[in-house]
A and B are shown apart, each in its own frame.
Chain A
């Protein structure tokens, strides 16, 4: 099992101009590592709708790689999105599901089926072209650059077992460390959109 730091530090090192869309327990930690206008926090938003939001960005920007860092609780809320992603035909979306088996933001209550669920198997069954699972930090880190720059066609799914931590409720206010949380979802949406389009 990885720590959140072991998950995010290598990603911050290999990330170049990819869009990164975060959700729940990784919103703040990613925002402490990255200061890019191409980051988007699905926070103060609708839980369970991060992967589908990322799909829309990927469809609109087919030459841009879009990395979605989704939680397992959020993914369970809209498992059908796995089918929609495959149906869409996008090949530039890399969907991570961070499997900590809890609702971390609300105090680490277990998600339904916490110990039995196999997200990688679900993604494979939905038809994802490339599916990876990691529960060991070294293997994850050594594979990451290849996953991000794989030339094979089709969407990519990456499940990573991560130890639960204790990230509390997320706000959008000046008191947050992460720059993308220091403004409203409305304002950040416009900043992100401008940065994405101007850099395309």
Chain B
């Protein structure tokens, strides 16, 4: 059996360049580290690392105001931290912004999420609340599970433009 392998960071960078992304704004985690490494090399996309995830949405909204095409790249824990920044900037301003969110805990999401699920040691509680939070914030999303899902990147940009609001792609395993 071949070793399990996550989606390729290179495939994603190539697609982001093809989509005309000008800036990636975010904070790295283990799942996105390969993408940050590639973006630190000479590519057409400018990388800005911020100090807190909420900042990423405000910076990205400002970039859009100035005519750029940013992408936000954060972990789902940081997505939760971003609540009011996302609502008050990108959502309220109607910024057609794509957010690539690494989905920590996805692999261990239990099918039966009983009342005690948030305190179970075998469950990463951030995964339990990620999709319900996006639903509550009215941010449409799709999963990005492998290179076979690369067309979802273009679809996310198209959807963000159609809706004039942020759209998320949830990356379910680490990039390599």
Contacting pair B67 A61 (CB below 8 A): yes
* Stretch of B34-42, B43-51, B101-109 contacting A (4+ beta carbons < 8 Å): B43-51
| CB within 8 Å for A56 and B50 given contacts A46-B89, A186-B92 | no
Q: Is the CB of A196 within 8 A of B92?
A: no
Q: Is the CB of B88 within 8 A of A80?
A: no
Which residue of chain A has the shortest Cβ distance to B54 in the bound complex?
Answer: A49
User: Complex: how many Å from CA A60 to CA B164?
Assistant: 19
| Known contacts A49-B88, A189-B93; A81 and B65 CB within 8 A of each other | no
Q: Which of A49, A55, A190, A196 contacts B85 (CB 8 A)?
A: A49
B55 lies within 8 A of A84 (CB): yes
Asked if B7 lies at the interface with its beta carbon under 8 angstroms from chain A, I say no
B75 within 8 A of A: no
Number of inter-chain CB pairs below 8 Å = 122
Among candidates B52, B63, B87, B94, residue contacting A46 with C-beta atoms closer than 8 Å: B87
Interface of chain A, main secondary structure: helix
What is the 8 Å Cβ interface bit string for chain B, positions 117-137, against chain A (1 contact, 0 not)?
000000000000000000000
Interface residues of A in 163-196 (CB under 8 A from B): 185-186, 189-190, 192-193, 196
Contact B51 A56 (CB under 8 A): no
Q: Are A87 and B65 in contact (CB under 8 A)?
A: no
Residues of B within 8 A of A76 (CB): none
CB distance from A2 to the nearest CB of B (A): 27
Assess A196 versus B61: contact at CB under 8 Å? Given A59-B23, A80-B52, A185-B92: no
Q: Is B169 an interface residue (CB 8 A)?
A: no
Q: Please give me the residue from chain B that is nearest to A45 by CB atom.
A: B88
> Is the beta-carbon distance between B68 and A46 smaller than 8 angstroms?
no
Residues of A within 8 A of B87 (CB): 46
Q: How many B residues touch A, CB cutoff 8 Å? A: 34
**Cβ-defined contact, A59 with B66, below 8 A:** yes
Q: Are A59 and B59 in contact (CB under 8 A)?
A: yes
Q: How far is the CB of B15 from chain A (nearest CB, A)?
A: 22
Contact of B88 among A46, A57, A197 (CB under 8 A): A46
B5 vs chain A, min Cβ distance (A): 33
**Residue B17 at the chain A interface, CB threshold 8 Å:** no
Which residues of B lie under 8 Å from residue A53 when comparing CB positions?
58-59, 61-62, 65, 89
Report Cα–Cα, A87/B119, bound state, in Å.
38
* Known A-B contacts A78-B55, A84-B50, A84-B59; A60 and B89 likewise in contact (beta carbons under 8 Å): no
- B residues near A (Cβ < 8 Å) are 22-23, 25, 46, 48-52, 54-55, 57-68, 70, 84-85, 87-89, 92-95, 164
Q: A47-B88, A49-B54, A193-B65 are in contact. List 13 more A-B contacts (CB 8 A).
A: A45-B92, A46-B54, A46-B58, A48-B85, A52-B55, A53-B65, A53-B89, A57-B62, A81-B51, A84-B48, A186-B94, A186-B164, A189-B65
**What are 13 A-B pairs with beta-carbon distances under 8 A?**
A48-B85, A52-B62, A56-B25, A56-B58, A59-B46, A60-B63, A60-B65, A60-B68, A78-B55, A80-B55, A87-B48, A185-B92, A190-B94
